[in-house]
Amino acid sequence: MPATKDQIEAARAQETEVDTEEEFLTVPLAGYDGVTKDVRVLPANRWRASAFRALNSGNIDGFMEIVLHEDDYEIYEDLDPTSDGIGKFAEEASRLSGEALGKSSGPSRSSRSTRKR
């Protein structure tokens, strides 16, 4: 029996929801009072330049608004984490993403010596 139009649309909506959920990592975020809750965050390799600009300028709310799942931003506000909590959160998100924040290996050294003899 072929699927109805409603069944097809429902299946597509469910697939879209699953795809969206898979785009986020679940990372613990500690609040100022020691309470920790899991929030969904984009993998670090998908953080936009605007997120880094916000973070570098000290706009933590702006940074979190960009990288957190929209439904989890309120959890962040309720937890009101310290800067240490934000740092641990970002480190864990980058670790789970397979990225190292701020740790570029830089260019490799040449195997040949450039010293004149």
Please check whether residue 41 is in contact with residue 93, taking contact to mean a CB–CB distance below 8 angstroms.
yes
Distance CA 111, CA 8 (A): 59
pLDDT at 20: 42
Distance CA 50, CA 66 (A): 8
For the segment 74-99, the average pLDDT, to the nearest whole number, is 92
For the segment 10-20, the average pLDDT, to the nearest whole number, is 44
Report DSSP letters for 47-68, one per residue.
--HHHHHHHHTT-HHHHHHHHB
Does 16 have pLDDT greater than 50? Answer: no
Q: What is the pTM assigned to this prediction?
A: 0.66
The neighbouring-strand residues paired with 25 are 41
Intra-chain end-to-end CA distance of the chain, in Å? 83
* Residue at 80: amino acid letter: D
Kindly give, in sequence order, each residue whose CB lies less than 8 Å from that of residue 41, ignoring residues fewer than 6 positions away.
24, 25, 26, 27, 67, 68, 69, 72, 89, 93
pLDDT at 98: 84
Does 98 or 63 have the greater pLDDT score? 63
Q: Report residue 31's pLDDT band, with 50, 70 and 90 as the boundaries.
A: very high
pLDDT at 79: 97
